[in-house]
Chains A and B, each alone.
Chain A
Protein backbone atom coordinates (compact mmCIF):
# COMPACT_ATOMS: atom_id res chain seq x y z
CA UNK A 1 0.00 0.00 0.00
CA UNK A 2 1.48 3.40 -0.90
CA UNK A 3 2.26 5.81 1.89
CA UNK A 4 -0.35 8.59 1.87
CA UNK A 5 -1.98 10.92 4.32
CA UNK A 6 -4.46 8.09 4.97
CA UNK A 7 -1.62 6.08 6.55
CA UNK A 8 -1.34 8.68 9.30
CA UNK A 9 -5.08 9.17 9.69
CA UNK A 10 -5.38 5.44 10.34
CA UNK A 11 -2.68 5.73 12.97
CA UNK A 12 -4.28 8.61 14.86
CA UNK A 13 -7.80 7.15 14.68
CA UNK A 14 -7.84 5.86 18.30
CA UNK A 15 -7.11 9.39 19.52
CA UNK A 16 -9.86 10.93 17.43
CA UNK A 17 -13.01 10.53 19.48
CA UNK A 18 -16.05 9.46 17.49
CA UNK A 19 -18.05 12.38 18.79
CA UNK A 20 -15.50 14.70 17.14
CA UNK A 21 -15.36 12.78 13.88
CA UNK A 22 -18.22 10.32 13.49
CA UNK A 23 -17.83 7.05 11.64
CA UNK A 24 -19.24 8.20 8.27
CA UNK A 25 -17.13 11.39 8.44
CA UNK A 26 -14.04 9.39 9.34
CA UNK A 27 -14.59 7.00 6.43
CA UNK A 28 -14.86 10.01 4.08
CA UNK A 29 -11.76 11.56 5.61
CA UNK A 30 -9.85 8.34 5.09
CA UNK A 31 -11.01 7.97 1.49
CA UNK A 32 -10.02 11.55 0.71
CA UNK A 33 -6.66 11.21 2.46
CA UNK A 34 -5.68 8.38 0.09
CA UNK A 35 -5.40 11.10 -2.57
CA UNK A 36 -3.19 13.33 -0.43
CA UNK A 37 0.56 13.24 0.17
CA UNK A 38 1.93 11.64 3.31
CA UNK A 39 4.43 14.38 3.99
CA UNK A 40 3.19 17.62 5.40
CA UNK A 41 1.12 19.14 8.08
CA UNK A 42 -2.57 18.28 8.22
CA UNK A 43 -5.41 19.79 10.18
CA UNK A 44 -8.78 18.29 11.02
CA UNK A 45 -11.52 20.83 11.66
CA UNK A 46 -14.24 19.66 14.02
CA UNK A 47 -17.38 21.39 15.25
CA UNK A 48 -17.84 21.63 18.99
CA UNK A 49 -21.58 22.19 19.42
CA UNK A 50 -23.62 19.33 20.84
CA UNK A 51 -25.92 19.35 17.84
CA UNK A 52 -23.04 18.82 15.40
CA UNK A 53 -22.81 15.14 14.61
CA UNK A 54 -19.14 14.50 14.21
CA UNK A 55 -18.54 16.04 10.80
CA UNK A 56 -15.01 17.11 9.88
CA UNK A 57 -12.97 18.88 7.22
CA UNK A 58 -9.33 18.32 6.32
CA UNK A 59 -6.56 20.76 5.36
CA UNK A 60 -3.01 20.23 4.23
CA UNK A 61 -0.06 22.53 3.90
CA UNK A 62 2.16 22.62 0.81
CA UNK A 63 5.47 24.29 1.47
CA UNK A 64 7.14 23.36 -1.79
CA UNK A 65 5.83 22.99 -5.33
CA UNK A 66 7.02 19.37 -5.46
CA UNK A 67 4.50 18.40 -2.82
CA UNK A 68 1.68 19.25 -5.18
CA UNK A 69 2.95 16.56 -7.55
CA UNK A 70 1.79 13.95 -5.02
CA UNK A 71 -1.75 15.28 -5.13
CA UNK A 72 -4.33 13.54 -7.22
CA UNK A 73 -4.71 15.85 -10.25
CA UNK A 74 -8.46 15.50 -10.13
CA UNK A 75 -8.50 17.27 -6.78
CA UNK A 76 -7.37 20.50 -8.38
CA UNK A 77 -9.14 22.80 -10.81
CA UNK A 78 -6.97 23.73 -13.84
CA UNK A 79 -5.91 27.15 -12.56
CA UNK A 80 -4.64 25.62 -9.32
CA UNK A 81 -2.81 22.86 -11.13
CA UNK A 82 -0.95 25.51 -13.11
CA UNK A 83 -0.38 27.68 -10.07
CA UNK A 84 1.05 24.87 -7.98
CA UNK A 85 3.03 23.28 -10.79
CA UNK A 86 4.74 26.58 -11.54
CA UNK A 87 5.81 26.85 -7.94
CA UNK A 88 3.68 29.95 -7.63
CA UNK A 89 6.37 31.73 -9.67
CA UNK A 90 3.74 33.77 -11.47
CA UNK A 91 3.49 35.85 -8.32
CA UNK A 92 6.93 37.36 -8.78
CA UNK A 93 10.29 36.84 -7.19
CA UNK A 94 11.03 36.59 -4.36
CA UNK A 95 7.54 35.28 -3.68
CA UNK A 96 6.18 36.47 -0.34
CA UNK A 97 4.24 33.22 0.07
CA UNK A 98 5.62 30.78 2.63
CA UNK A 99 3.09 28.04 2.02
CA UNK A 100 -0.14 27.22 0.26
CA UNK A 101 -2.92 25.50 2.15
CA UNK A 102 -5.62 23.37 0.57
CA UNK A 103 -8.75 22.99 2.63
CA UNK A 104 -11.19 20.28 1.75
CA UNK A 105 -14.73 20.82 2.97
CA UNK A 106 -16.06 17.31 3.35
CA UNK A 107 -19.27 18.54 4.92
CA UNK A 108 -20.09 20.57 1.83
CA UNK A 109 -19.35 17.80 -0.66
CA UNK A 110 -21.38 14.75 0.32
CA UNK A 111 -20.18 12.78 -2.72
CA UNK A 112 -16.82 12.46 -4.43
CA UNK A 113 -13.73 14.57 -3.93
CA UNK A 114 -14.35 18.14 -2.82
CA UNK A 115 -12.71 21.04 -4.62
CA UNK A 116 -10.20 22.66 -2.28
CA UNK A 117 -10.34 26.12 -0.82
CA UNK A 118 -6.93 27.68 -1.28
CA UNK A 119 -5.03 29.86 1.07
CA UNK A 120 -1.61 31.50 0.90
CA UNK A 121 0.45 32.08 4.01
CA UNK A 122 2.13 35.46 3.53
CA UNK A 123 5.53 36.48 4.74
CA UNK A 124 8.07 39.13 3.90
CA UNK A 125 7.13 42.34 2.23
CA UNK A 126 4.33 42.86 -0.28
CA UNK A 127 1.84 45.60 -1.03
CA UNK A 128 -1.94 45.78 -1.21
CA UNK A 129 -1.94 46.07 -4.99
CA UNK A 130 -0.04 42.80 -5.34
CA UNK A 131 -2.38 41.03 -2.93
CA UNK A 132 -5.53 42.26 -4.66
CA UNK A 133 -4.40 42.13 -8.28
CA UNK A 134 -2.04 39.15 -8.31
CA UNK A 135 -2.19 36.76 -5.40
CA UNK A 136 -5.94 36.56 -4.83
CA UNK A 137 -6.83 36.24 -8.54
CA UNK A 138 -4.19 33.49 -8.89
CA UNK A 139 -5.77 31.55 -6.02
CA UNK A 140 -9.29 32.39 -7.16
CA UNK A 141 -8.89 31.50 -10.82
CA UNK A 142 -10.40 34.79 -11.97
CA UNK A 143 -9.99 38.52 -11.36
CA UNK A 144 -11.67 40.05 -8.36
CA UNK A 145 -14.69 42.28 -8.85
CA UNK A 146 -14.45 46.05 -8.49
CA UNK A 147 -16.42 45.81 -5.26
CA UNK A 148 -14.08 43.19 -3.82
CA UNK A 149 -11.06 45.30 -4.70
CA UNK A 150 -12.63 48.35 -3.10
CA UNK A 151 -13.41 46.63 0.19
CA UNK A 152 -10.11 44.80 0.37
CA UNK A 153 -8.20 48.04 -0.16
CA UNK A 154 -10.33 49.69 2.54
CA UNK A 155 -9.60 46.91 4.99
CA UNK A 156 -5.90 46.85 4.20
CA UNK A 157 -5.55 50.62 4.44
CA UNK A 158 -7.10 50.68 7.90
CA UNK A 159 -4.88 47.97 9.35
CA UNK A 160 -3.08 49.22 12.46
CA UNK A 161 0.70 49.04 12.50
CA UNK A 162 0.61 46.12 14.95
CA UNK A 163 -1.50 43.99 12.64
CA UNK A 164 -0.66 42.14 9.46
CA UNK A 165 -2.34 39.87 6.96
CA UNK A 166 -1.23 36.34 7.61
CA UNK A 167 -3.44 34.36 5.24
CA UNK A 168 -5.27 35.22 2.02
CA UNK A 169 -7.96 32.81 0.82
CA UNK A 170 -10.03 32.08 -2.19
CA UNK A 171 -13.37 30.53 -1.26
CA UNK A 172 -14.18 29.87 -4.92
CA UNK A 173 -14.76 26.20 -4.12
CA UNK A 174 -17.92 27.25 -2.28
CA UNK A 175 -21.05 28.80 -3.72
CA UNK A 176 -20.52 32.52 -4.27
CA UNK A 177 -17.40 34.44 -5.10
CA UNK A 178 -15.86 35.28 -1.74
CA UNK A 179 -12.24 35.81 -0.78
CA UNK A 180 -11.02 35.98 2.80
CA UNK A 181 -8.29 37.71 4.77
CA UNK A 182 -7.01 36.49 8.12
CA UNK A 183 -5.32 39.13 10.24
CA UNK A 184 -2.99 38.59 13.19
CA UNK A 185 -1.74 41.01 15.81
CA UNK A 186 -5.09 42.34 17.08
CA UNK A 187 -6.65 41.52 20.43
CA UNK A 188 -10.47 41.63 20.49
CA UNK A 189 -10.67 45.29 21.60
CA UNK A 190 -8.38 46.26 18.74
CA UNK A 191 -10.41 44.12 16.31
CA UNK A 192 -13.53 46.07 17.27
CA UNK A 193 -11.78 49.43 16.81
CA UNK A 194 -10.39 48.26 13.46
CA UNK A 195 -13.74 47.06 12.13
CA UNK A 196 -15.56 50.14 13.42
CA UNK A 197 -13.35 52.29 11.18
CA UNK A 198 -14.39 50.71 7.90
CA UNK A 199 -16.61 47.61 8.08
CA UNK A 200 -20.41 47.39 8.44
CA UNK A 201 -21.69 48.71 11.78
CA UNK A 202 -22.68 45.25 13.00
CA UNK A 203 -19.14 43.86 12.68
CA UNK A 204 -17.69 45.48 15.79
CA UNK A 205 -20.74 44.43 17.82
CA UNK A 206 -20.30 40.84 16.67
CA UNK A 207 -16.72 40.77 17.92
CA UNK A 208 -17.81 42.44 21.16
CA UNK A 209 -20.22 39.56 21.69
CA UNK A 210 -17.44 37.00 21.23
CA UNK A 211 -14.76 38.87 23.20
CA UNK A 212 -15.72 37.67 26.70
CA UNK A 213 -15.64 34.07 25.50
CA UNK A 214 -12.07 34.30 24.25
CA UNK A 215 -10.67 36.50 26.99
CA UNK A 216 -7.18 35.62 28.21
CA UNK A 217 -6.02 33.75 25.12
CA UNK A 218 -2.41 34.00 24.07
CA UNK A 219 -3.03 34.70 20.40
CA UNK A 220 -5.85 35.95 18.25
CA UNK A 221 -6.67 36.18 14.58
CA UNK A 222 -9.57 37.94 12.87
CA UNK A 223 -10.95 36.66 9.58
CA UNK A 224 -13.51 38.26 7.30
CA UNK A 225 -14.88 37.48 3.85
CA UNK A 226 -15.31 39.93 1.00
CA UNK A 227 -17.78 39.30 -1.78
CA UNK A 228 -20.04 42.20 -2.87
CA UNK A 229 -19.11 43.84 0.42
CA UNK A 230 -17.76 42.64 3.74
CA UNK A 231 -19.65 39.52 4.68
CA UNK A 232 -21.49 39.58 8.01
CA UNK A 233 -19.84 36.26 8.82
CA UNK A 234 -16.73 36.92 10.92
CA UNK A 235 -14.24 34.59 12.55
CA UNK A 236 -12.08 34.95 15.63
CA UNK A 237 -9.33 32.35 16.00
CA UNK A 238 -7.63 31.99 19.35
CA UNK A 239 -5.30 29.71 21.22
CA UNK A 240 -2.08 29.31 23.14
CA UNK A 241 1.49 28.49 22.36
CA UNK A 242 1.74 25.68 24.88
CA UNK A 243 -0.01 22.33 24.91
CA UNK A 244 -3.12 21.91 27.07
CA UNK A 245 -1.35 19.94 29.80
CA UNK A 246 1.05 22.88 30.27
CA UNK A 247 -1.43 25.66 29.59
CA UNK A 248 -4.62 25.78 31.71
CA UNK A 249 -5.97 28.55 29.50
CA UNK A 250 -7.11 25.94 26.96
CA UNK A 251 -9.38 24.36 29.53
CA UNK A 252 -10.68 27.74 30.72
CA UNK A 253 -11.45 28.74 27.13
CA UNK A 254 -13.33 25.54 26.41
CA UNK A 255 -15.11 25.65 29.78
CA UNK A 256 -16.46 29.08 28.87
CA UNK A 257 -17.70 27.73 25.55
CA UNK A 258 -19.38 24.82 27.34
CA UNK A 259 -21.03 27.22 29.80
CA UNK A 260 -22.24 29.34 26.88
CA UNK A 261 -23.79 26.29 25.24
CA UNK A 262 -21.39 26.46 22.28
CA UNK A 263 -19.36 23.34 23.07
CA UNK A 264 -20.36 19.89 24.21
CA UNK A 265 -18.58 18.95 27.45
CA UNK A 266 -17.53 15.55 26.13
CA UNK A 267 -16.14 17.19 22.98
CA UNK A 268 -14.15 19.59 25.17
CA UNK A 269 -12.58 16.62 26.91
CA UNK A 270 -11.87 14.87 23.63
CA UNK A 271 -10.21 17.97 22.18
CA UNK A 272 -8.03 18.40 25.26
CA UNK A 273 -7.03 14.74 25.06
CA UNK A 274 -5.94 14.95 21.42
CA UNK A 275 -2.31 16.15 21.76
CA UNK A 276 0.40 13.50 21.96
CA UNK A 277 2.83 11.44 19.95
CA UNK A 278 2.95 8.00 18.38
CA UNK A 279 6.08 6.24 17.19
CA UNK A 280 7.02 2.69 16.17
CA UNK A 281 7.86 2.16 19.83
CA UNK A 282 4.58 3.34 21.28
CA UNK A 283 2.24 2.11 18.57
CA UNK A 284 4.02 -0.68 16.76
CA UNK A 285 0.80 -2.57 16.03
CA UNK A 286 -0.76 0.50 14.40
CA UNK A 287 2.29 2.08 12.83
CA UNK A 288 1.71 1.95 9.05
CA UNK A 289 3.80 -0.92 7.63
CA UNK A 290 4.50 1.25 4.59
CA UNK A 291 6.08 3.84 6.93
CA UNK A 292 8.15 1.44 9.01
CA UNK A 293 11.35 2.43 7.26
CA UNK A 294 10.70 6.08 7.97
CA UNK A 295 10.29 5.72 11.67
CA UNK A 296 10.06 9.07 13.33
CA UNK A 297 6.99 10.32 15.12
CA UNK A 298 3.39 11.13 14.34
CA UNK A 299 2.64 14.21 16.36
CA UNK A 300 -0.80 15.46 17.38
CA UNK A 301 -1.28 19.05 18.52
CA UNK A 302 -4.19 21.31 19.31
CA UNK A 303 -3.86 24.26 16.98
CA UNK A 304 -6.61 26.69 17.85
CA UNK A 305 -10.28 27.28 18.47
CA UNK A 306 -12.37 29.39 16.15
CA UNK A 307 -15.61 31.21 16.85
CA UNK A 308 -17.68 32.11 13.81
CA UNK A 309 -20.16 34.93 14.27
CA UNK A 310 -23.21 35.48 12.09
CA UNK A 311 -25.71 38.21 13.07
CA UNK A 312 -28.82 36.87 14.74
CA UNK A 313 -27.31 33.47 15.48
CA UNK A 314 -25.21 32.13 18.33
CA UNK A 315 -21.51 31.88 17.50
CA UNK A 316 -20.31 28.54 16.16
CA UNK A 317 -17.26 27.01 17.86
CA UNK A 318 -14.73 24.79 16.08
CA UNK A 319 -11.45 23.19 17.05
CA UNK A 320 -8.47 22.52 14.79
CA UNK A 321 -6.50 19.34 15.39
CA UNK A 322 -3.07 18.98 13.85
CA UNK A 323 -1.29 15.79 12.92
CA UNK A 324 2.05 15.50 11.19
CA UNK A 325 4.78 12.96 10.64
CA UNK A 326 8.15 14.24 11.81
CA UNK A 327 11.66 12.98 11.92
CA UNK A 328 14.69 13.99 13.88
CA UNK A 329 17.59 14.56 11.53
CA UNK A 330 20.56 12.35 12.41
CA UNK A 331 23.95 13.95 12.88
CA UNK A 332 26.92 12.83 10.82
CA UNK A 333 28.15 10.58 13.65
CA UNK A 334 24.82 8.81 13.76
CA UNK A 335 23.59 10.45 16.96
CA UNK A 336 20.26 12.20 16.73
CA UNK A 337 20.10 15.93 17.17
CA UNK A 338 17.65 17.41 19.60
CA UNK A 339 16.05 19.61 17.00
CA UNK A 340 13.02 18.25 15.21
CA UNK A 341 12.56 18.73 11.54
CA UNK A 342 9.28 18.22 9.81
CA UNK A 343 9.25 15.88 6.86
CA UNK A 344 7.87 18.91 5.05
CA UNK A 345 10.00 21.84 6.03
CA UNK A 346 8.35 25.16 6.63
Chain B
Protein backbone atom coordinates (compact mmCIF):
# COMPACT_ATOMS: atom_id res chain seq x y z
CA UNK B 1 0.00 0.00 0.00
CA UNK B 2 1.32 3.47 -0.77
CA UNK B 3 2.03 5.80 2.10
CA UNK B 4 -1.04 7.81 1.05
CA UNK B 5 -3.30 4.74 1.12
CA UNK B 6 -1.83 3.64 4.42
CA UNK B 7 -2.64 7.03 5.85
CA UNK B 8 -6.16 6.75 4.46
CA UNK B 9 -6.56 3.37 6.13
CA UNK B 10 -5.45 4.62 9.55
CA UNK B 11 -7.53 7.79 9.30
CA UNK B 12 -10.64 5.89 8.19
CA UNK B 13 -10.19 3.33 10.93
CA UNK B 14 -9.72 5.90 13.67
CA UNK B 15 -12.82 7.78 12.48
CA UNK B 16 -15.03 4.70 12.64
CA UNK B 17 -15.44 3.19 16.11
CA UNK B 18 -16.69 -0.06 14.57
CA UNK B 19 -13.60 -0.41 12.43
CA UNK B 20 -11.38 0.53 15.36
CA UNK B 21 -13.01 -2.12 17.55
CA UNK B 22 -12.46 -4.71 14.86
CA UNK B 23 -8.82 -3.72 14.36
CA UNK B 24 -8.27 -3.75 18.12
CA UNK B 25 -9.59 -7.29 18.19
CA UNK B 26 -6.95 -8.18 15.62
CA UNK B 27 -4.08 -6.64 17.58
CA UNK B 28 -1.13 -9.00 17.44
CA UNK B 29 -2.57 -10.89 14.46
CA UNK B 30 -1.22 -9.33 11.25
CA UNK B 31 -2.43 -12.06 8.88
CA UNK B 32 -5.99 -11.57 10.05
CA UNK B 33 -5.61 -7.81 9.69
CA UNK B 34 -4.43 -8.21 6.07
CA UNK B 35 -7.52 -10.32 5.27
CA UNK B 36 -9.90 -8.02 7.12
CA UNK B 37 -8.51 -4.89 5.45
CA UNK B 38 -8.59 -6.51 2.01
CA UNK B 39 -12.30 -7.23 2.42
CA UNK B 40 -12.78 -3.47 2.85
CA UNK B 41 -10.62 -2.44 -0.09
CA UNK B 42 -7.36 -1.71 1.70
CA UNK B 43 -4.41 -3.71 0.45
CA UNK B 44 -1.99 -3.90 3.36
CA UNK B 45 1.42 -5.48 2.86
CA UNK B 46 2.45 -8.04 5.49
CA UNK B 47 4.96 -5.52 6.87
CA UNK B 48 2.34 -2.82 7.18
CA UNK B 49 -0.11 -5.18 8.79
CA UNK B 50 2.50 -6.34 11.22
CA UNK B 51 3.40 -2.79 12.15
CA UNK B 52 -0.22 -1.76 12.61
CA UNK B 53 -1.29 -4.91 14.40
CA UNK B 54 1.50 -4.54 16.92
CA UNK B 55 0.57 -1.06 18.00
CA UNK B 56 -3.20 -0.72 17.99
CA UNK B 57 -3.68 0.04 21.65
CA UNK B 58 -2.27 3.09 23.35
CA UNK B 59 0.35 2.82 26.04
CA UNK B 60 -0.70 3.61 29.56
CA UNK B 61 1.02 6.26 31.64
CA UNK B 62 2.36 3.49 33.82
CA UNK B 63 3.89 1.75 30.82
CA UNK B 64 5.47 4.98 29.68
CA UNK B 65 6.88 5.64 33.11
CA UNK B 66 8.25 2.12 33.29
CA UNK B 67 10.12 2.76 30.08
CA UNK B 68 11.80 5.29 31.99
CA UNK B 69 14.85 4.17 30.45
CA UNK B 70 14.25 7.20 32.26
CA UNK B 71 14.88 5.79 35.59
CA UNK B 72 15.23 2.20 34.49
CA UNK B 73 12.72 1.29 37.10
CA UNK B 74 15.12 2.65 39.67
CA UNK B 75 17.81 4.56 37.89
CA UNK B 76 18.00 7.31 35.30
CA UNK B 77 20.50 7.49 32.47
CA UNK B 78 23.86 8.98 33.32
CA UNK B 79 24.69 12.61 32.67
CA UNK B 80 28.00 12.72 30.92
CA UNK B 81 27.71 16.28 29.75
CA UNK B 82 28.98 18.90 32.07
- Which A residues form the contact surface with B (CB < 8 A)? 41, 43, 45, 57, 59, 61, 101, 103, 105, 117, 119, 121, 166-167, 169, 171, 180, 182, 184, 219, 221, 223, 233, 235, 237, 239, 241-243, 245-246, 275, 277, 279-281, 284-285, 287, 289, 291-297, 299, 301-304, 306, 308, 316, 318, 320, 322, 324, 326-328, 330-331, 334-336, 338, 340, 342, 346
A316 to B67, CA, bound (A): 27
Verify B69–A342 contact, CB threshold 8 A.
Answer: yes
Verify B27–A336 contact, CB threshold 8 A.
Answer: yes
Verify B78–A121 contact, CB threshold 8 A.
Answer: yes
Question: Which of A182, A219, A292, A327 is the one whose CB lies under 8 Å from B71?
Answer: A219
Verify A280–B80 contact, CB threshold 8 A.
Answer: no
Nearest B residue (CB) for A294: B51
Q: Is B56 an interface residue (CB 8 A)?
A: yes
A117 to B79, CA, bound (A): 11
Interface size class of B (residues with CB under 8 A): 35 or more
| B66 cross-chain contacts in A, Cβ below 8 A | 340
Q: Given that A292-B51, A318-B79 are known contacts, is A61 also in contact with B59, CB under 8 Å in the complex?
A: no
Number of A-B contacts (CB under 8 A): 174
User: At the interface, is chain A mostly helix, strand, loop or mixed?
Assistant: strand
Q: Is B14 an interface residue (CB 8 A)?
A: yes
9 CB contacts below 8 A, A to B, read: A182-B78, A239-B71, A275-B64, A293-B47, A303-B71, A324-B69, A328-B55, A330-B54, A340-B63
A189 to B63, CA, bound (A): 32
Verify A41–B10 contact, CB threshold 8 A.
Answer: no
A246 to B50, CA, bound (A): 32
Question: Which of B6, B28, B50, B69 is the one whose CB lies under 8 Å from A41?
Answer: B69
Name the interface residues of B29-82: CB closer than 8 Å to any CB of A. 29, 46-48, 50-59, 61, 63-73, 75-82
Verify A297–B82 contact, CB threshold 8 A.
Answer: no
| A184 cross-chain contacts in B, Cβ below 8 A | 75
| B63 cross-chain contacts in A, Cβ below 8 A | 338, 340
| A239 cross-chain contacts in B, Cβ below 8 A | 70-71, 76
A123 to chain B, nearest CB (A): 9
Q: Is B15 an interface residue (CB 8 A)?
A: no
